[in-house]
Amino acid sequence: MFAIPRFRPSVSHREVLSFLAAAALLRRHAVDACERDFARRLLGGGRVVLAPSARVALCWLLEALDLAPGDEVVTQAFNFPAVPAAIRAAGGRPRFLDLAPGSFEADWRRLDDLLGPRTRVVVVTHLYGNPADLAAAAARCADRGVTLVEDCAQGIGAAAGGRPVGTTGRGAIFSLGPTKNLTLLGGGAVACRDEGLARRLEALAARHGKVRPLASLALMVKAAALGVATHPLPFSLALLPLLRLAERRGVDLVHQIMEEPPGVIGDPIRARRPSAAMAAVGLAQLGRVDALNRARVRNGWYLRSRLAGVERLTLPPLREGCVFMSFPVLHPEREVLARALRDRGVDSDLGFMADCSSLPLFAEDGASCPHSARTAREILHLPIYPQLEPRHLDRVATAVRAALDGV
Ligand SMILES: Cc1ncc(COP(=O)(O)O)c(C=O)c1O
C-alpha cells in the first residue's frame, strides 16, 4: 500500500502547456487576463492586481491606505510571521489578538479590547480555508471607523456569510504558491472594489518588474519536481524513508527546505510580479479552481466525520463556505503523533504558523497571547488535498486512531 504525502501541488498537464505556450509566445496580455478572470470568478467583480507575494501585497495595501508611521494595525497573534513583518515594513505597529482558548481561531468579538485612538486597520485572516467571523470584525470596525482588510492567503474560493471572502474588507490579499487552493507557481495578489484604491495599487505594482523567463522556468521545474516527489510511488519508496531518517535526527526535511526565518518580507521594491507564463498557469487553473475546491470540501467534511469522537484530539470548528486549504487538529503531543502517523505511512505537517506575539522580532509590541502559544505548540495538519479520495482518508483516520492508542 502506498504512503500518503502531506501535500501535493495541483498543476495539470494543460497548465504546463499553457505555461510553455505563454513563455514561447510572450503573451503579455496573460497577466491582465488572469487579473480580470480572478476578479470575475472568485470575487464577483472588482479589481485584482498580481503581486510578488501576499506579504508585498499587504505592504502595498497599507501604503495605498496612507498608513502613517506608528499607526496600529490589529492582526491575530497566531499568524504567518510575514504578516506582522509586512505591517512593520509599511510603518505600522502590529497589535496582536489572541485566539479563543483551546481553539484554532481568533475571537473577533474581543476586538474591542485592542481598538485604540491609533488603530487604523484590522487584518482578519481566513485560516486553513475556513472563513473567519467577518461579521463580528466588520461590525466593530464600522463602529470605530477602522479599515478592515482580509488576509485570504489560505482562503481562496471560501465564502463568509454567503459572500466570497475578500469582498467584505476594503482590500484583500492572496498567496498563490504551489500548495495553495489556486496557484500561479508563486506570487500573490491584492484585490479591492474601489477604483481610486485600485489605481494606487496599480501605481505601486508598476514599480516592480515581472519574474524573468529563466526564474519562471525554475518555478515550473520546482513544481513539477514536487509533483513527482509527492506521487505515491516515489514518495513511498524514496521521500518517506528520507523523511523518517531525518526525523530520527529531530529534523523535518520539508521544513528545512521550505521554512523561512520569521518575518522575511524580501525587498518590497525589487521583488518581482508573476510573469505572463505564470499568469497563463493561473488562467488555466481558474477554470478548475471550483472543482479543486469541491474536492477539498468533500474530503474535509468526510475526514471530519471519520475523526469525530477521537479522544484528546481537537477538531477544527468548520463553517459553511470553508474550502479546506488544510485540515488542522490539535494534540498536546503532536510530534509523537506525527511520528506515529509517518510509521503508518501517513505524512502530516506541523505547519508554518507561529504565535507571533512571542517572537523576539515583535517583543516590543508587548502582548502575551497564551492561547495562540498553545495552539502553535499543538497544531498538526493532516492530508486533505484534492487528489485524495475517501479511501485514502479512511486510511488517514484509521492511522490517527491507531497512532493515538500508542501516544
Ligand atoms: C495566512 C497567511 N498570510 C500571509 C501569507 C504570506 O503569503 P506569501 O508567502 O505569498 O507572502 C501566508 C503564506 O502562506 C499565509 O498563510
The pLDDT value recorded for residue 407 is 67
d(CA 248, CA 246): 5
The Å distance, Cα 309 to ligand 1 centre, comes to 32
Strand bridging mode 188-192 / 354-355: unpaired
Is the pLDDT confidence value at 196 over 90?
yes
Please state the pTM of the whole predicted model: 0.96
Residue 26: its pLDDT value, please? 64
40-49, 310-319, 323-332: least confidently modelled range: 310-319
Q: Is 265 in the pocket of ligand 1 (CB under 6 A)?
A: no
Output the CA 58–ligand 1 centroid distance in Å.
10
Report whether pLDDT(23) > 80: no
Please give the angle made by the CA atoms of 196, 202 and 205, to the nearest 5 degrees. Answer: 150
CB 355 within 8 A of CB 185: no
What confidence score (pLDDT) does residue 140 get? 96
Pick the range with the lowest mean pLDDT from 69-83, 265-279, 387-401.
Answer: 265-279
Distance CA 6, CA 117 (A): 44
Cβ 80 under 6 angstroms from ligand 1: yes
pLDDT at 28 over 80: no
What pLDDT, on the 0 to 100 scale, is given for residue 260?
A: 80
175 pocket-lining for ligand 1 (C-beta < 6 Å) = yes
Which pLDDT band holds residue 176 (cuts at 50, 70, 90)? very high
Find the 352 Cα to ligand 1 centroid distance in Å.
9
- Indicate the range of 143-157, 238-252, 379-393 predicted with least confidence: 238-252
Residue to probe by mutation, ligand 1, list 80, 128, 173, 264, most atoms within 8 Å of CB: 80
Provide the CA 124 distance to its chain's centre, in angstroms: 13
Q: What separation in Å is there between the alpha carbon of 81 and the centre of ligand 1?
A: 8
User: What was the pLDDT predicted at 70?
Assistant: 92
Q: Is 183 in the pocket of ligand 1 (CB under 6 A)?
A: no
Strand partners of residue 74: 95, 122
Poorest-pLDDT segment among 91-100, 253-262, 292-301: 253-262
Rounded Cα distance, 301 and 324, in Å: 9
Please tell me the predicted confidence (pLDDT) of residue 62: 98
Residue 128, ligand 1, Cβ within 6 A: no
Angle at 353 between CA 350 and CA 359, to 5 degrees: 120
Ligand 1: which atom is nearest the Cα of residue 126?
1
CA angle 106, 71, 89 (to 5 degrees): 85
What mean pLDDT do residues 159-186 have? 96
Q: Percent helix, strand and coil across the chain, each rounded to 5?
A: 50, 15, 35
Instruction: Please list the alpha-helical segments (H only) found in 3-53.
Output: 13-25, 29-43
Average pLDDT of the chain to the nearest whole number: 94
Q: 249 to each of 119, 266, 332, 378, how far by Cα in Å?
A: 45, 31, 21, 21
Over residues 323-335, mean pLDDT: 96
> What is the grid cell recorded at 64?
495605498
82 Cα nearest atom in ligand 1: 6
User: Which atom, in ligand 1's list, is nearest to the CA of 180?
Assistant: 14
Residue 78 in contact with ligand 1 by CB distance below 6 A: no
Q: Other CB atoms closer than 10 Å to residue 291's CB: what's the count?
A: 10
pLDDT tens-digit series, residues 120-146: 999 999 999 999 999 999 999 999 999
Task: Give residue 263's pLDDT band: very low, low, confident or very high (50, 70, 90).
Answer: confident
Cβ–ligand 1 distance for 75 under 6 Å, the answer no
Q: What percent of the chain has pLDDT over 90?
A: 84
Q: Say how many Å lie between the CA of residue 274 and the centre of ligand 1.
A: 16
Could you tell me if 72 and 347 are in contact, meaning their C-beta atoms sit under 8 angstroms apart?
A: no
Q: Is the CB of 154 under 6 A from ligand 1?
A: yes
Ligand 1 test: best mutation among 50, 83, 176, most atoms within 8 Å of CB? 83
Look at residue 103 in the predicted model and tell me its pLDDT.
85
Structure confidence at residue 266 as a pLDDT band (50, 70, 90):
confident
Q: Is residue 151 in contact with ligand 1, taking CB distance under 6 Å?
A: yes
Q: Is 153 in the pocket of ligand 1 (CB under 6 A)?
A: yes
Among residues 353, 350, 343, the alpha carbon closest in space to that of 400 is found at 343
**Cell 507564463 found at:** 277
Q: What's the gap between Cα 97 and its chain centre?
A: 19
The yes-or-no verdict on residue 365 having pLDDT over 80 is no
